[in-house]
Chains A and B, each alone.
Chain A
Amino acid sequence: MDYPAKPVADLLVELGFSHVVWLPDSALGPWEAELDRPGTLELVRVCREGEAWALAAGLYLAGKRPLVMIQNTGLFESGDALRNFLFDLKLPLVAVIGYRSALVPGNNDSACKFTEPMLKAWGLDYVVIRSPDELPQMREHLRVSLAAGRPGVVLVAEGRM
């Protein structure tokens, strides 16, 4: 599934995001050029997903509006940082997370299997988008999360394992 880059970047700009802190996967990766377009968003590249939550926290505390953008495998990796910044520091950070294998019927991908149970365990409010037609749901979920001042996650379903 290819999600078009420009509508995604446009909706993030429209929502007032200042920075995208990311470690991309194959579904999010094609968005790089649009997310890095001068004069709109600032794209910050991290080496490991735990850094993304911490870096976004620093940006948020200093008055910016960051978005974390990682793969679901990185969600698992970054659990301690997520725990600390969302639950100890209580920061309302939001994320767009690639949902590996979610469009593959009957897949055996453990990353896919545990993603939603993990988000439920954290108590994180999330939506899943499964096609480019559902990008308005991404916009709405991020908008509502920002307006409510609470963490929120958009899972972007992918076909690759």
Chain B
Amino acid sequence: MSNIMTTQSPTSRMPLVAALEVLLPLRGDRIVVTTMGAAREWPKLSTHPLDFHYIPSAMGAAPALGLGLALAKPQREVLVLNGDGAMLMNLGSLVTIVAAGASNLTLITLDNGIYEVTGGQQTAAAAAARHAWVDFAGMARAAGFARVARFERWEDWQRGAAALLADPGPRFVVLAVEPVGAAYHLEAPGPLSERLPKFQAALAQI
């Protein structure tokens, strides 16, 4: 039985882009839903027709959006790249995903401890605010996720990612990532009115 709260803050963090680059050769024909920081960086790395950059969003809704896709396309893997602040907004979605039995879903939480989009304020879960780190992985484990992992070092993530994604799902992964800082700027990669029909058309081909 793991404690939900742990006093161990990350000893190491990986760059966000490097963390995402590990997924590039592994994504295969997965549907990929990005939001928050991942939605800023992933479009620079991938232009796959099954990528959906969920901007503008309802913050916290990406896991449920991905779950809907996973339930509709049970033969296809779905990867959701979420932020820690967004995860905090909808922790119940961990239970919803498990209850729905979506074994084809992977939810990755990119944890930098701050609301980067609004200028870098700490989340309620961040160390300075709580004097302890909220154990997202422990929450996912308690919710019943089939596979749960947390990575702080890029080398460990790179070494473990392929096997993790091959395990039965649903899967939950926390990646401790560095804040981008002042360079942060979230911009939609093109008009939604163009991106959404293309994504739907790609889904219809599955």
The residues in B between 82 and 112 inclusive whose CB is less than 8 angstroms from any CB of A are 90, 92-93, 95-96, 99-100
Check: B169 CB closer than 8 A to any chain A CB: no
Which residues of A are found within 8 Å of B60, using beta-carbon distances?
50
Residues of B within 8 Å of A89, CB to CB, are 192, 196
Whether a CB of chain B sits under 8 angstroms from the CB of A81 is yes
What A residues does B95 contact at CB under 8 A? Answer: 47
Residues of B within 8 A of A59 (CB): 68-69, 71-72
Give residues 40-64 of A contacting B (CB, 8 Å).
42, 44-48, 50-64
Which chain A residues lie closer than 8 Å to B52 at the CB level? Answer: 61
- Judging by beta carbons under 8 Å apart, are A84 and B69 in contact? no
A51 contacts B72, C-beta separation under 8 Å: no
Give a binary string over A66-83; 1 marks a CB under 8 Å from any B CB, 0 the rest.
Answer: 100000000000001101
In the complex, what residues of B have CB within 8 A of residue A80's CB? 58-59
Interfacial chain A residues near B129, Cβ < 8 Å = none
Of A50, A58, A60, A89, the most chain B CB neighbours within 10 A belong to A58
Q: Are B68 and A62 in contact (CB under 8 A)?
A: yes
Interface contact A46-B64, CB-CB below 8 Å: yes
Interface residue range, chain A: 20 to 34
Complex Cα spacing A52 to B61, Å: 9
Size range of the interface on B? Answer: 20 to 34
Interface status of B113 (Cβ within 8 A of chain A): no
CA distance A52 to B52 in the complex (A): 19
B93 touches A51 (CB 8 A): yes
Once A and B bind, how many residue pairs between them come within 8 Å at the CB atom? 98
Please give me the residue from chain A that is nearest to B59 by CB atom.
A80
Instruction: Determine the residue in chain B with the shortest Cβ distance to A89.
Output: B196
A80 and B60 CA atoms in complex are apart in Å by 10
Q: Are the C-beta atoms of A55 and B96 separated by less than 8 Å?
A: yes
Q: Is the CB of B56 within 8 A of A58?
A: no
- Return the chain A residue nearest B99 by Cβ: A45
A141 close to chain B: CB less than 8 A: no
Q: Which residues of B contact A66 (CB under 8 A)?
A: 68
Closest chain A residue to B80, Cβ basis: A58
Q: Is residue A88 within 8 Å, beta carbon to beta carbon, of the partner chain? A: yes
Question: A100: CB under 8 A from chain B?
Answer: no
Q: Is the CB of A55 within 8 A of B72?
A: no
Is the CB of A31 closer than 8 A to any CB of chain B? Answer: no
Cα(A66)–Cα(B69), bound, Å: 12
CA distance A64 to B14 in the complex (A): 38
The answer to whether A47 touches B93, judged by C-beta atoms less than 8 angstroms apart, is yes
B61 x A51 contact (CB < 8 A): yes
**At the interface, yes or no: A17 with Cβ under 8 Å from chain B?**
no
In the complex, the chain A residue whose C-beta lies closest to that of B67 is A55
Q: Which residue of chain B lies nearest to A91 when distances are taken between CB atoms in the complex?
A: B196
B204: Cβ under 8 A from any A Cβ: yes
Known A55-B68, A62-B69; judge A45-B203 contact (CB<8 A).
no
A83 to B58 alpha-carbon distance, docked (Å)? 8
4 tightest A-B CB contacts, nearest first: A58-B68, A47-B92, A62-B72, A54-B64
| A interface list, Cβ under 8 A from B | 19, 21, 42, 44-48, 50-64, 66, 80-81, 83-85, 88-89
Q: Can you report 22 residue pairs joining A to B where beta carbons are below 8 Å apart?
A: A46-B92, A46-B96, A47-B92, A48-B90, A51-B61, A51-B90, A52-B64, A53-B61, A54-B68, A55-B67, A55-B96, A56-B68, A58-B65, A59-B68, A60-B68, A61-B69, A62-B68, A63-B72, A63-B204, A64-B68, A66-B68, A89-B196
